[in-house]
Copies of this chain bind each other. A is one copy, B any other.
């Protein structure tokens, strides 16, 4: 999956630098969603001398390529989720942070109806589902 990111970066015409490779590897090892600070801490612990700015810059790049998506958790914090570059939504565990993709979002019907009633032309939508993953359900 780090491979995938590096490929995408290559295709995007940016350089495959050391820090980017290292960070991609770190992202790969992550489970569930993570924050920029999490990544930075990962890098710090391993004494890779990676700068704050570099982390944010890479996250933005990956986000442009759709390989990472930024979500807003219910508590207001921003987190990132590695994912496929196609339209889909996320199911996020409120307890452990695990995420799953929901690809067939049947909300096209919902948006169509909302558009009809309001007169708006709907251009994008954002749907996020929060709950408890199977593990956390049984663990409790």
How far does the Cβ of A89 sit from chain B's closest Cβ, in whole Å?
Answer: 8
**Cα A2 to Cα B111 with chains together (Å):** 31
Contact residues, A91-118 vs B (CB, 8 A): 91, 93-94, 100, 102, 105-107, 109-111, 113-115, 117-118
Tally of A interface residues using CB under 8 Å: 37
> Known contacts A120-B93, A121-B137, A131-B120; is A110 also within 8 Å of B105 by CB?
yes
Q: Mark A125-136, 1 if CB is under 8 A from B, else 0.
A: 111111111100
Chain A interface residues (CB < 8 Å from chain B) = 70, 72, 74, 76, 91, 93-94, 100, 102, 105-107, 109-111, 113-115, 117-134, 137
